[in-house]
Amino acid sequence: MKKMGLTVAVSIALLPALAVAQPPAEKKPSIEVRNYPGNTASTERDEALKLKGNVKAGQAAYQEYCEACHLPTGGGNPDGSIPQLAGQHSTVVIKQLADIRSGLRYNPTMYPFARKLANPQALANVAAYIQTLCIPVGSGKYAGPDAAEMLAGGKLLYEKQCSQCHQPNGEGAKDQFYPVLAGQHYGYLLRQMTDIRDGKRANAHPEMVQVAKNYNYDQLLAISAYQASLTTPKSMLMTPGSMCKTGAGKKL
Ligand code: HEC
Ligand code: HEC
């Protein structure tokens, strides 16, 4: 009985944002958007983006500086404390690393390790390697008793306000710096969505901040639950953002 009440309240709560929030304008190149805080003079990012990454050198750096937290598979921690990185677009990884190194994206836990990468070539290398990893299955999902309701509500919001950039299956867009969301942990997504809404992730896309600003906690939960349920299609198995066929995060 109690659960029913909550469920109904949540469904209703999900609706106003659909009516109030304007759907974001046509797909725009993220990084060139005027006043995009991530669009600071990051020569490091721009240089790294021009370089061809060396996957072998990237693997060595990853093993030395990254895998203790992000794991050899790139899968991170399903509790959401450490994000899943495998299959992420190299452009996104380069941008996030440059933003973390410059302090634009506040990440004190990882900062000292991100600083170990010697130069833009090292950023390009590790990003090239990460992009080759297939997404381990078995990522953290929302498992509350109202999961079905939340997923349905989150799907509505996602398809209305997010999928034009992140794509219906969550594979993002490499050239536009739109991250792969498929296979990402629910807990991490909820934290990022909350930080983005509250202005704590300084490098977020302004259109996304605009949309998220209208969300209450239940809506953030619903949309995070839905994002975490996305899987890239089989047709993408050999491209970045693909899911591992078998082995649940054991095999690269
Ligand atoms: C001490 C643990 C730790 C180490 C070592 C570490 N990271 Fe991280 N990393 C994190 C945490 C925690 C976050 C998420 C922080 C947050 O919630 O914003 C993160 C976030 C990231 C992100 C952003 C992911 C996204 O989806 O936006 C990237 C990219 C990344 N790490 C790459 C690396 C690379 C490459 C290395 C090695 C050079 C590395 N990390 C080493 C803990 C670590
Ligand atoms: C205009 C394009 C656009 C729209 C619309 C958009 N996003 Fe994003 N999103 C981005 C970009 C670009 C980034 C990377 C920002 C950065 O550089 O840190 C991002 C990052 C994210 C991240 C962080 C991913 C990570 O790996 O750390 C999440 C989660 C996210 N978006 C979810 C959403 C949701 C949910 C919506 C809909 C409510 C949405 N986005 C709408 C472009 C968009």
Same domain, 151 and 112: no
Report, as an integer, the average pLDDT of 26-33. 40
- Choice from 208, 216, 221, 229 to test ligand 2 binding pocket (greatest atom count within 8 A of CB): 208
Same domain, 51 and 128: yes
- Choice from 162, 175, 176, 177 to test ligand 2 binding pocket (greatest atom count within 8 A of CB): 162
- What is residue 131's predicted lDDT score, i.e. its pLDDT? 93
Mean pLDDT is highest, among 94-103, 131-140, 212-221, for 212-221
Residue 63 falls inside a structural domain: yes
Residue 19 has pLDDT above 70, yes or no: no
Cβ–Cβ under 8 Å, residues 111 and 100: yes
Structure tokens at 68: 């203790």
- Choice from 107, 166, 215, 224 to test ligand 2 binding pocket (greatest atom count within 8 A of CB): 166
Atom of ligand 1 nearest to the CA of 109: 1
65 lines ligand 1 (CB under 6 A): yes
Residue carrying structure tokens 């130069």:
119
In percent, the amount of the chain with pLDDT more than 90 equals 62
Q: Which of 132, 163, 195 is the last residue of a domain?
A: 132
Same domain, 168 and 232: yes
Structure tokens at 217: 């906690």
Same domain, 112 and 203: no
pLDDT in tens, 48-104: 999 999 999 999 999 999 999 999 999 999 999 999 999 999 999 999 999 999 888
In this structure, which ligand is nearest to the CA of 113?
A: 1
Could you tell me the end-to-end alpha-carbon distance of the chain, in angstroms, rounded to an integer? 46
Instruction: Quickly list H helices, the chain.
Output: 2-20, 43-50, 55-65, 67-70, 90-102, 111-114, 120-132, 147-161, 163-166, 186-197, 206-212, 217-228
- What is residue 238's predicted lDDT score, i.e. its pLDDT? 47
Counting beta carbons within 10 angstroms of the beta carbon of residue 7, is it exposed (0 to 12), middle (13 to 18) or buried (19 or more)? middle
CA of 166 to the centre of ligand 2 (A): 7
Same domain, 143 and 232: yes
In this structure, which ligand is nearest to the CA of 76?
A: 1
Same domain, 203 and 125: no
Same domain, 91 and 155: no
Domain membership of residue 193 as a residue range: 137-236
What is the torsional sign of CA 251, 73, 96, 154?
Answer: positive
Q: How many residues in total does the chain contain?
A: 252
CATH number of the domain within which 118 lies: 1.10.760.10
In this structure, which ligand is nearest to the CA of 95?
A: 2
Q: Which residues on adjacent β-strands are paired with residue 243?
A: 135
Atom of ligand 1 nearest to the CA of 88: 26
Same domain, 143 and 190: yes
Q: Which of 132, 148, 183 is the last residue of a domain?
A: 132
Q: Please, what is the average pLDDT of the chain?
A: 83
Helix (H) or strand (E) holding 30: none
Residue 247 falls inside a structural domain: no
Q: Give me Rg for the CA atoms of the chain.
A: 18
Same domain, 224 and 206: yes
Same domain, 223 and 144: yes
Atom of ligand 2 nearest to the CA of 95: 17
Residue 13 falls inside a structural domain: no
Work out how many domains the chain is built from and give that number.
2
Q: Which of 132, 149, 170 is the last residue of a domain?
A: 132
CA distances from 91 to 9, 25, 123, 170 (A): 40, 23, 10, 16
- What is residue 20's predicted lDDT score, i.e. its pLDDT? 43
Residue 242 falls inside a structural domain: no
85 lines ligand 1 (CB under 6 A): yes
Residue 16 falls inside a structural domain: no
Q: Spell 52-66 as b/e; 16+ CB within 10 A means b.
A: ebbbebbbebbeebb
Residue 61 falls inside a structural domain: yes
What is the torsional sign of CA 101, 103, 104, 106?
Answer: positive
Residue carrying structure tokens 């996304």:
208
93 lines ligand 1 (CB under 6 A): yes
Same domain, 228 and 144: yes
Helix (H) or strand (E) holding 180: none
Could you give the CA distance from residue 207 to residue 162 in angstroms, rounded to a whole number? 10
194 lines ligand 1 (CB under 6 A): no
Residue 204 falls inside a structural domain: yes
Q: Spell 186-222 as b/e; 16+ CB within 10 A means b.
A: bbbbbbbbbbbbeeebebbbbbbeebbeebeebbbbb
118 lines ligand 1 (CB under 6 A): no
- Choice from 73, 95, 110, 111 to test ligand 1 binding pocket (greatest atom count within 8 A of CB): 110
